[in-house]
Amino acid sequence: MSETDARMLGFPPEVFAQRRERILGSLGKGVMVLPAAPTLYRSGDVELRYRPDSELFYVSGLTEPEAVAVLSGEGESERFTLFVSARDADAELWSGARLGPEKAKEIFGADASYPIDDLETRLPALLDGPDRVFFRLGHRGPTQALVLAALARARLKGPRRGAGPRAIVDPGVVLDDLRLVKDEHEVDRIRRAAELSVAAFRVALAAVRPGLGEWELESLIDHAFRTGGGAGPAYPTIVGSGTNACVLHYVDNHCNIGDGDLVLVDAGAEVDMYAADITRTFPASGSFSGIQRAVYEIVARANRAAVEAVAPGSTVGDVHSAGLDVLVEGLTELNVLEGEAATLIEEEGYKPYFPHRTSHWLGLDVHDVGDYARDAESRILEPGMVLTVEPGLYFRPDLTETSGSGAELSGIGVRVEDDVLVTVDGHEILTGDLPVAAEEIEGLIG
């Protein structure tokens, strides 16, 4: 692998060049400003491991901190400008080597590249001509102040000059739809992240037992991510045993797993910036109880029904509806809900037990960008889109006590989640090597 490919996590440079051409063609007279993610701190001066900004990487392949990319919709020169850290031996002693402007220009194909310390003097000139600036407000760092200053100058001088930005626009207006449909290089990363995640789940299933700490299961999963070549977890690993499974984003992972508990694990590896996202729920003892199996099989059927709804021309809403129909039918079978299914769905009577949607987009971010509806109509699925399918049922103890749905359901939480690629002729379950059927799950435990 060449130095250029290595710096871009194995992506060919022409992939980013082609993306920039599409983006530049959508900017009109505007300019897009994409700063690197800020350095975050755990406490005091202890830095968290740096994770590059998804948008900056998507456009340029750049993974260094303290950088800014500027794309100018008009002009023949300097349409792609980079600002990066200058070489500094003292700083690099502590944080590692940086490319510097000259090397960054060569590797990333920029028209111009300058030290980040020049941003304050050079960026205003790049912002004074365009009619709008594509920039995500709320970014921590000096870039936002420079963008807002350009807008203020245009308000004062723009009417006489007929130039200058009059609006700040979210970059997602241009980037989100591009990121929503994955190319072959992106699908390869998500597939590898999914395979690594499946392997980690198999490790967890083999190790789970009553008395084990939730944190121990978490450590086995995250260890498998790293030893398998991933960057680690794409998001904090969830290990919820017993009633903790009813907390949707439970990440404390500080309890011991009880005998007879169900264990809900929601985890995914990150490979070259791309995420996987899997959830499985399984009995710590190795066998589902009668009521646990009844709930689990409802959710598993909902998962399969929703997955089968994934196809080009279907909508995100179709996927959700397919899973929801099965869940509502199951809730009536369990005598939790009464009435016609259509009425229960219209009145959202299921919401206390299934409060979330069935899917989200997956990619550079685990909850990846892209609208789920357009003009009040559910988004139509296209080949290259990747989404999760994750129905669930959660019977919080306080909920079952007040609803009269039965003590036997109290504290049961079940979710089954897979990652699905929309293909030309249907779909591919990227996490399909991890079983869903109850008896197959039981067979992997211990």
Residue 45 to residues 89, 94, 140, 142, 172, Cα–Cα distance (Å): 21, 13, 17, 20, 32
Residue given tokens 């293909």 in the structure block: 423
Distance in Å from the first CA to the final CA of the chain:
40
Instruction: Give how far Cα 27 sits from Cα of 47, 70, 72, 173, 315, Å.
Output: 36, 12, 8, 10, 29
Integer Cα distance of 276 and 287 in angstroms = 27
Q: Are strands 392-394 and 413-415 parallel, antiparallel or unpaired?
A: antiparallel
Q: Which residues contact 239 (CB under 8 A, 6 or more apart)?
A: 214, 215, 217, 218, 221, 253, 263, 264, 265, 267
- Tell which residue, 248, 221, 276, has the closest CA to residue 391: 248
Residue whose tokens read 């609208």:
371
Catalytically annotated residues: 45, 249, 266, 277, 356, 360, 367, 390, 394, 415, 417
C-alpha to C-alpha distance for 237 and 99, rounded to whole angstroms: 33
> In three state form, how does the secondary structure of 225-252 look?
HHHCCCCEECCCCEEEEHHHHHCCCCCC
φ and ψ of 285, to 5 deg? -80, -15
CB atoms within 10 A of CB 7: 20
DSSP state, 137?
A: T
Name residue, tokens 């929309």: 422
Residue ranges in 112-183 assigned as alpha helix (H): 119-127, 142-161, 172-180
